[in-house]
Amino acid sequence: MSRDLVRIWSRRSRAGFAGVAAVLLALTACGGSSGSSGGTKTYTIAFISQGTSNSWAAQLDAVARKTAKADGIKLVYFNGQGDATKQLPEIDTAIAQKPDAIVLVPLGGAADTGPVERAMGQNIKVILCDSTITSTNYTSLVTPHAETATVPLAQWLADKMNHQGNLLYIGGLPGNTTTTTYDQGFNSVMQKYPDIHIINAGNANYSISTAKQLAATAIASGRTFAGAWGVGGEAVTGMMQAYVDAGVTSIPPIGGNSATNGTMRLAIQHTIQVASLQFPPTSSQVCIDTAFKAAKGESVPKSINLSDLPQYGPIFPPLDKYYKSQYSDDMYVGTDSVLTFDELKAINLVK
Binding site for other proteins (CB under 8 A): 1, 3-4, 52-55, 57-59, 171, 174, 199-203, 205, 207-210, 212-214, 216-222, 234, 237-238, 241, 244-246, 262, 266, 328-330, 347-349, 351
- CA-based Rg of the chain, rounded to a whole angstrom? 20
Query: Are the C-beta atoms of 159 and 273 separated by less than 8 Å?
Result: no
Residue type, 203: N
Residue type, 71: D
Least separation in angstroms between CB 351 and other proteins: 7
Task: Identify the burial level of 28 via C-beta atoms within 10 angstroms of its C-beta, where 0-12 means exposed, 13-18 middle and 19 or more buried.
Answer: exposed
Question: 28-36: long-range contacts (C-beta < 8 A, 24 or more apart)?
Answer: 29/71, 29/289, 29/290, 29/292, 29/293, 30/67, 30/70, 30/285, 30/289, 31/70, 31/71, 32/70, 32/71, 32/289, 32/292, 33/72, 34/71, 34/72, 34/73, 35/72, 36/296
Q: Which is nearer to other proteins, 75 or 208 (CB)?
A: 208
Least separation in angstroms between CB 349 and other proteins: 6
Least separation in angstroms between CB 56 and other proteins: 8
Query: Are the C-beta atoms of 306 and 283 separated by less than 8 Å?
Result: yes
Q: Which is nearer to other proteins, 77 or 113 (CB)?
A: 77
CA 331/CA 321 separation, integer angstroms: 15
Helix locations, 72-97, DSSP H: 84-96
Least separation in angstroms between CB 187 and other proteins: 13
Q: Which is nearer to other proteins, 13 or 205 (CB)?
A: 205
Residue 78: strand pairing partners: 48
- The Cβ of residue 312 has, within 10 Å, a number of other Cβ atoms equal to 20
Q: Which is nearer to other proteins, 180 or 305 (CB)?
A: 180
Q: Which is nearer to other proteins, 19 or 334 (CB)?
A: 334
Q: Which is nearer to other proteins, 12 or 212 (CB)?
A: 212
CA 138/CA 209 separation, integer angstroms: 37
Q: Which is nearer to other proteins, 54 or 290 (CB)?
A: 54
Least separation in angstroms between CB 186 and other proteins: 14
Least separation in angstroms between CB 299 and other proteins: 35
Least separation in angstroms between CB 195 and other proteins: 17
